Structure 1
Amino acid sequence: MSIYIGIWIDRRNAHIVSLSKRNPPEDGYEQAVETIASEVEPRLRLSGGSGVRGTPWGPQDVSVDSKSAARRKKQLEEYFDSVMDTIKGADRIFIMGPGETKNQLKNAINRTKALSGRVMMVETADKMTARQIAARVRDFYEIEDMG
C-alpha cells in the first residue's frame, strides 16, 4: 500500500496529511489529517538590564541563555521524534511551512534510517488552514479523486 504524507510544520504545530490507497485500488485514496502540538517553549526576549550605579554603560544582567537554548533544542528533537513516529510508514514525504523548522525536520528525517531519502520536496508556505494543507498535499501528489 502506498502512503503519501504531507506535513505543514512550524515551531508550534505540525499538521500531517496522510493519503493511502484504498483496497481495491480503483476506489481511490483515503485521507487522514492529524495535528501534533509542540511543547517547544518560545524564545524569551530580554530587554534592558541593570547598569552599575553611576555609569550609564556598566555591566548588564545577562540571562543564562545556553541552558534555555539546550532545553529548546531537546524539546525540538522530541517534537520531531513524535512527528516521525506518526509518519513512519510513509513512502513519500512532502514538507512545507514557514521559517527554518521545515528544513530542520527534513534533516532529522534524513538522519533516521527508516525514513531517509523519502522527502520529495520542501516548500515555503505561510499559515494555512487544515483544508488548504490537505488540498496542497493532494495537488502535490496529483491526486484529484478522493473516492
Structure 2
Amino acid sequence: MEKNIGLWVDHSKAYLVTLKAKSETRTRFDAEIDSERTASYGSADRSPEKKVERRRINQLKEWYSELIKAISSADRIYIFGPGKAKNELLIAIEEDEAIASKVVGVEAADAMTENQMAARVRSFYGKEDSMTVPAYRRPPGA
C-alpha cells in the first residue's frame, strides 16, 4: 500500500497530510522557535544578536529533524508552503539520500486552511502520475 505525504510548512507550524489507500490523516506540528530579542529576565539581560540568531537556527534544525522523522516512512513526499521554510527543509532532507529520493515536488503556496491543504495534496497526487519527474529526482538509470 503506497503512502503519499504532503507537507505544508512555514517557520511557525507544519501540516502533514497522509494519503494511504482511500484513507487520509492530518497532523499539525507547532514549531517552538524563540522569536524574542530579549531574555525573560528583563531589558537589562539582552542577548547579543548573534547568540539569539544562532539559537533560532539550532531550534529550526531540531524542528526540521522532527518533521523529517515524521515523513521518513512515506513512499512519496510533496512539500509546499510560503516563504523560505520549505526550501530550508528540503536542504535538511537532502542530507539523507534515502529520504531525499522520495521528494517528488516542492511548490510555493500561500496561507491555506487545513481543508485547502488536504485538497491540494489530493490534487497533486491525483495528477502527479501524468507529470514528468524532474531529472534531479529520478533514480540513476531511469
Aligned to 1:49: none
The answer on 1:130 being equivalent to 2:102 is no
Is 1:120 paired with 2:123?
no
Q: CA deviation at 1:113?
A: 3.7
- Return the offset for 1:119: 1.1
Corresponding residue for residue 60 of structure 2: 76
2:100 partner SS:
coil
Partner of 2:8: 8
Partner of 1:104: 88
Q: How does 1:51-62 map to 2 (within 5 A)?
A: none
The residue type equivalent to 2:32 in the other structure is E
Q: Which structure features the higher share of helix residues?
A: 2
The equivalent of 1:88 in structure 2 is 72
Equivalent position of 1:30 in the other structure: 23
**Paired residues, what number?**
120
Shift of 1:42: 2.3
Q: SS where residue 73 of structure 2 aligns?
A: coil
Among all aligned residue pairs of Structure 1 and Structure 2, give the percentage whose two residues are the same amino acid: 39
Please, what is the CA RMSD of the aligned residues?
Answer: 1.8
Give the distance between the partners of 2:10 and 2:63, measured in 1 at CA.
11
Tell me the distance in 2 between the aligned counterparts of 1:63 and 1:36.
28
Pair member with larger Rg: 1
User: 1:94 Cα shift?
Assistant: 0.6
What residue ranges of structure 2 are gaps of 5+ in the alignment? 38-45, 128-142
**1:17 corresponds to which residue?**
17
Shift of 1:35: 0.4
* Equivalent AA in structure 1 for residue 88 of structure 2: Q
**Which 4+ runs in 1 deviate beyond 3 A?**
none
